Structure 1
Amino acid sequence: MRISSLSIYGNATSQLNSLQSALARTQMQLSTERRILTPADDPVASARVLEVSQTKEMNLQFATNRASARSSLTTVEGALQNAGNLLQDIQELAVTAGNGSMLTKDRQLLATELEGRLADLLGVANSTDGAGGYLFSGYMATTQPFTTTPGGADYKGDQGQRQLQVAASRRMPLSASGSAVFENNPTGNGNFQTQAAAANTGAAIISSGSVVDRVQADAGRDYKLTFAVTGTPAVTTYSVVDTTTGTDVAVPGMTAQAYEAGKAITFGGLSFDIKGQPADGDNFTAKPSEKQSVFTTVTNLIAALRAPADGSAGKAALTNNIATALDNLKSSHDNVLTVQASVGAHMKELDYLDSAGDDLDIQYAATLSDLQDLDMVKAISDFSQQQMTLQAAQMSFKTMSGLSLFNYL
């Protein structure tokens, strides 16, 4: 069969180009250490590489978010630690104020010191994150959460809780609202609160009490206990009425009961005692606990220390007010500690998420390596083979192109 010179040159050129292209591709794979240079090389693997790469980038972004969340939570924890220390100091001052040997001027000095602690506590509540945002204002990061009022402080933030995505299925709170930290404090013993009437003239002191029957106590009734001192010699009795509906309703079995100082008084699932000598007409109340701002509690304590405490009635009123303040301060301190523990738990969770994120990053890197990394040994072998084949093809083409009948004429 006769083959034209044009066909010989055309076929040879095409073959050499193919061999050179294959060699160049292998050389590119070796230089990039990647098996897939374009999606056309392996469409299925290329799609998978894109998917895994995007997931890996998201995992890296979550790691950045966790670092930011940890920084924010560390700032919040520091503020809560300061608040807890201040509340501890205030409780110690309140206990000191209850010392019966203290003079009026001493209590005035304590009141002044408490005013300083109150200002410090307000400063903590208005702490910022270092970037111009307030820690405890909810979603209203640029609004100062608390402003001073005659009764304590007024909350200007909202109930929101800023969050940040720290994992594929986890959004983590970065702080707590000021209302939840400083205002969500149950009064009294946490179930009900006992209180002496401001107009009492006797020397009776009431305890904070406890719950003895949860079912009855959970009914949430308001009670008033009134003393009567009659006869000669004087006999002291007390009666308890239910004032929940606004009308006094006698509590069964609790009318004209003989008073014995320090003896437990139990009704409606509640139990407390009263010590000291009450006067005729003195009354005490027992109501379900309410939420009260810690700033109101400290302000009331300061007012109680500045009020006159002359005579047995004045000292009893002071003791009752300090006892009420101590109960409320303990509740406030416990609430701050609870929020602080929650922040600590979130920081611990971030450690676990970091560990899981690192494991995922290794897994994604391994998957990408399996999909697109080059088998270097095989690639070098292929490169050497392709190089040798190209050289042989070039040599054979050179030899064939030199053949001509004119060489024999």
Structure 2
Amino acid sequence: MRIATSTMYEAGTSQLGTLQSKMARTQQQLATQKRMLTAADDPIASARALEVTQSKSVNSQFAVNRQNARSSLSEVELSLTSATTLLQDVQSLAVKANNGVLSQADRESLAVELEGHLEDMFGIANNTDGSGNYLFAGFKSNTPPFAKVPGGAQYMGDQGGRQLQVSAARQVGVSDSGSAVFENNRTGNGTFVTSARAANTGTGVISSGAVVNAAAMPSTAYEITFAGSGSATTYSVIDKKTGLPPPDAVGPQPYSPDQQIAFGGLSFSVKGNPAAGDKFDLDPSSKQSVFKTMSDMIATLRAPAGNAAQLAQLSNGLNKATENLSSALDNVLGIRASVGARQKELDTLDAAGEDLDIQYAATLSNLQDLDMVAAITEFTQQQMTLEAAQKSFKSMSGLSLFNYIG
């Protein structure tokens, strides 16, 4: 078969071009260390690689969110630690103040010190993060959460808690509302609170009491009235809801300062010598802010305490403050434990996220990465093939009938 010279050149040029193209593609693979240069090289693997790349990017963003969450929780933890230390100092001050030998001037000094602690507590409650957002304002992060009012504080924030998505299936709270931290404190013993009437003239000091039989406790609202004097002192109990005495305390009951007073599943004591007509109250516990507790304590310290009856009122007020401070401290410690649990969870999620990132990287490597040994071998083979084709084309193109005519 005759082959025209033009056909021979066209075929040779086409074959050399094909070999050069394949060699160039292999060289690009070696340069990028990628098996796929375009999606057309492996459509299925390319689609899967895109999906894994997106998942890996989302996982990286979750890691950033966890870091931001950890930073926010660390700021909350620092504030709660300061609040814990401050409440412990105030508790010590309350114990120190409940000393009958202190003078009015001594108690005034303690009241001034307590006012400084109250200002410190306002500062802690109105703390901001590095961006100027208030830590304990809920969703109203641009609003100072607590404003001073006579006798306490007013909460200006809301009940919201900011959250961050820290994994595909988990959101973590990075803040707690100021109401939950500083106002969610149960008064008294958590079930009921005892108090002495301001008009009392005796020296009776009532304890915080306790629940001894919840099943036999129909009410937590009672009025206790004392009558008589000396060894003939008695007390009467009236249920504030029904106006009737409880079944186990009907009629005047003999009083002894050395014995517990128990009825309706409750138990408490009244020490000292209550005067005839003195009244004490048992009311259901309610929630009270730490600012009101501290403000009430300041007022108690500044109240006159020049006689035995006034000293008894001082003891009653300070005992009540001590109970409420203990409740406030327990509440802050509980929230600190919650913050610590969230920080621990972030550490666990970080470890899981790192493992997931390694899995994504391994999957992408299997889909995209080039087998360098195989690619180098193929490149070398293509190079030899191209060189042989170039030499053979040169030899064939040099053949001509005119070389033999002469």
> Where on the TM-score scale, by shorter chain, does this alignment land: which range?
over 0.9
**Distance in 2 of aligned mates of 1:169 and 1:288:** 41
Residue range with higher mean Cα deviation, 395-404 or 48-57: 395-404
Secondary structure at the aligned position of 1:35 is classed as coil
Per the alignment, residue 329 of structure 1 pairs with 325
**Distance in 2 of aligned mates of 1:60 and 1:234:** 78
1:311 paired with 2:307, answer yes
Describe the superposition over 1:275-294 as per-residue Cα deviations: whole angstroms up to 9, x where unpaired.
11111121111122110000
Aligned residue identity for 2:208:
S
Per the alignment, residue 245 of structure 2 pairs with 250
Matches within 5 A, 1:278-297: 278-297=274-293
**Distance in 1 of aligned mates of 2:89 and 2:287:** 22
Q: Which runs of 5+ in 2 are unaligned?
A: none
2:375 corresponds to which of 376, 379, 390 = 379
Per the alignment, residue 31 of structure 1 pairs with 31
Per the alignment, residue 238 of structure 1 pairs with 235
**Distance in 1 of aligned mates of 2:303 and 2:185:** 25
Aligned residue identity for 1:224:
E
Matches within 5 A, 1:100-119: 100-119=100-119
Aligned residue identity for 1:45:
A
Describe the superposition over 1:245-265 as per-residue Cα deviations: whole angstroms up to 9, x where unpaired.
xx5122113121111113112
- Structure 1 residues 214, 404: CA separation in 2 closer, same or farther (over 3 Å shift)? same
TM-score normalized by the length of structure 1 = 0.96
Per the alignment, residue 358 of structure 1 pairs with 354
Kept in 1: contact 2:248–2:264 (CA 8 A): no
Aligned residue identity for 2:312:
A
1:391 corresponds to which of 377, 387, 392 = 387
Per the alignment, residue 141 of structure 2 pairs with 141
Q: Displacement of 1:8 after TM fit? A: 2.1
Kept in 1: contact 2:138–2:177 (CA 8 A): yes
Per the alignment, residue 269 of structure 1 pairs with 265
Q: Displacement of 1:122 after TM fit? A: 0.6
Secondary structure at the aligned position of 2:190 is classed as coil
Q: Displacement of 1:371 after TM fit? A: 1.0
Describe the superposition over 1:93-145 as per-residue Cα deviations: whole angstroms up to 9, x where unpaired.
11000011111111111111101110111111001102111111001010000
Secondary structure at the aligned position of 2:228 is classed as strand
Q: Displacement of 1:187 after TM fit? A: 0.4
- Structure 1 residues 220, 58: CA separation in 2 closer, same or farther (over 3 Å shift)? farther
Per the alignment, residue 221 of structure 1 pairs with 220
Q: Displacement of 1:234 after TM fit? A: 6.4
**Distance in 2 of aligned mates of 1:352 and 1:92:** 38
Kept in 1: contact 2:83–2:124 (CA 8 A): yes
Aligned residue identity for 1:377:
V
1:340 corresponds to which of 321, 336, 339 = 336
TM-score normalized by the length of structure 2 = 0.96
Kept in 1: contact 2:184–2:289 (CA 8 A): yes
Per the alignment, residue 51 of structure 1 pairs with 51
Aligned residue identity for 2:351:
S
Q: Displacement of 1:161 after TM fit? A: 0.4
Q: Displacement of 1:15 after TM fit? A: 1.6
Aligned residue identity for 1:146:
F
How many corresponding residue pairs?
404
Q: Displacement of 1:404 after TM fit? A: 2.0
**Distance in 1 of aligned mates of 2:27 and 2:100:** 94
Per the alignment, residue 4 of structure 1 pairs with 4
Residue range with higher mean Cα deviation, 22-31 or 362-371: 362-371
Aligned residue identity for 2:223:
K
Secondary structure at the aligned position of 1:249 is classed as coil
Residue range with higher mean Cα deviation, 348-357 or 88-97: 348-357
**Distance in 2 of aligned mates of 1:44 and 1:342:** 46
Secondary structure at the aligned position of 1:253 is classed as coil
Secondary structure at the aligned position of 1:250 is classed as coil
Secondary structure at the aligned position of 2:2 is classed as coil
Per the alignment, residue 62 of structure 2 pairs with 62
Aligned residue identity for 1:341:
A
Aligned residue identity for 1:64:
V
Aligned residue identity for 1:36:
M
Describe the superposition over 1:287-328 as per-residue Cα deviations: whole angstroms up to 9, x where unpaired.
221100000000000001100112221111110110000000
Kept in 1: contact 2:66–2:346 (CA 8 A): yes
Residue range with higher mean Cα deviation, 26-35 or 15-24: 15-24
The percentage of aligned residue pairs carrying the same residue is: 59
Q: Displacement of 1:363 after TM fit? A: 1.4
- How well do the aligned residues superpose, as a CA RMSD in angstroms? 1.4
Q: Displacement of 1:47 after TM fit? A: 1.0
Kept in 1: contact 2:197–2:279 (CA 8 A): yes
**Distance in 2 of aligned mates of 1:87 and 1:112:** 16
Describe the superposition over 1:11-42 as per-residue Cα deviations: whole angstroms up to 9, x where unpaired.
22222111111100100000011111111111
Aligned residue identity for 2:81:
Q
